[in-house]
Structures are given as structure tokens and as C-alpha cells.
């Protein structure tokens, strides 16, 4: 199990840098020029944000990657224990669970307003891409079913 958790952390960390931020890159560089995309996702900022986070001053992208690794461990535990179809489950898990936590629990912990009722399309897309990437990286090492 420790090996699985380590693989889950690494897959989650890397999935933020490649899949989550890769999706942000595409939306920023291509989607901002397409009015229909902007109407759904809004204008997107550049990926790989290096702004420092509180309280430690770690660059935002590294903070996101760290938390992606932690979520990757959670996802790995679920995949190894329940054995659902990995790619479908992970994509939905990323899109729904991570986005739900991002719009409810995280702002509440920071003392900010929580979800305002608007559907967070961009979060669903980014986090779904993250989940897809985690599953893709874990398929062979953990012997998961597609």
C-alpha cells in the first residue's frame, strides 16, 4: 500500500503540472480568442501562476501540485480498494469532488464567501483533466482496469 500511495502522490502532482495546467494553457492561448469558449469559461489567466501563496509564500502552481498529490493519494486508495473503471471514475472524481471542495470547503476555511450558485465550468474542466491524467499514469503500475 505505501508504494501505491507514493505512486498516487507522484501521479497527482504531475497531473497538475501536465493535465490541469495544460488545459489552462489551451484555454488561455486558444480559448480566449473564441467567443463561445469565453462565454462558457470566461477569460482565463495564464497557467503556471508563480504568485506566492499564504502563509508560506510557495508559488501557486507548486501549492496546487502538492494538493494534487494529496488528492492523488485519496484517488489511488479509492481505485485500489473499489476497482472502478479507472479513467471514467477518476475524471468524474476530479471534476466533481475536487471542484465541490474548491467552491465550498476551501473558501470556508479561508473565511471567504462560498459557492454562489454559478456552475464552475472552468473548475470542472481543469479538475476533470487532472483526474483523467492521474488515472492514465496509474493504469499500468497499479494494474487498474480502464
CA contacts within 13 A on the Cβ side of 108: 9
pLDDT of residue 1: 84
Query: Is the pLDDT confidence value at 24 over 90?
Result: yes
Mean pLDDT over 53-81 rounds to 96
Domain borders along the chain are 2-142
pLDDT tens digit string along 34-59? 999 999 999 999 999 999 998 899 99
pLDDT of residue 44: 93
Mean pLDDT over 12-29 rounds to 97
pLDDT of residue 35: 95
pLDDT tens digit string along 93-142? 999 999 999 999 999 998 998 888 888 999 999 999 999 999 999 999 99
Share of the chain above pLDDT 90, in %: 87
For residue 94, which of 142, 140, 44, 132 has the smallest C-alpha distance? 132
pLDDT of residue 114: 87
Residues contacting residue 69 through CB under 8 Å, at least 6 positions apart: 8, 9, 10, 12, 13, 16
Q: CA-CA distance, 117 to 48, in Å (whole number)?
A: 27
Amino acid at each position: 500500500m505505501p508504494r501505491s500511495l507514493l505512486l498516487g502522490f507522484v501521479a497527482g502532482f504531475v497531473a497538475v503540472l501536465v493535465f490541469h495546467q495544460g488545459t489552462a494553457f489551451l484555454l488561455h492561448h486558444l480559448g480566449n480568442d473564441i467567443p463561445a469558449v469565453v462565454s462558457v469559461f470566461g477569460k482565463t489567466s495564464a497557467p503556471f501562476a508563480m504568485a506566492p501563496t499564504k502563509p508560506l509564500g510557495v508559488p501557486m502552481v507548486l501549492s496546487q501540485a502538492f494538493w494534487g498529490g494529496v488528492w492523488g493519494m485519496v484517488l489511488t486508495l479509492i481505485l485500489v480498494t473499489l476497482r472502478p473503471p479507472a479513467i471514467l471514475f477518476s475524471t468524474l472524481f476530479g471534476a466533481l469532488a475536487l471542484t465541490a471542495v474548491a467552491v465550498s470547503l476551501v473558501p470556508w476555511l479561508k473565511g471567504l464567501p462560498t459557492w454562489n450558485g454559478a456552475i464552475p465550468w472552468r473548475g470542472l474542466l481543469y479538475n476533470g483533466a487532472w483526474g483523467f491524467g492521474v488515472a492514465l499514469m496509474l493504469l499500468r503500475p497499479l494494474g487498474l482496469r480502464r
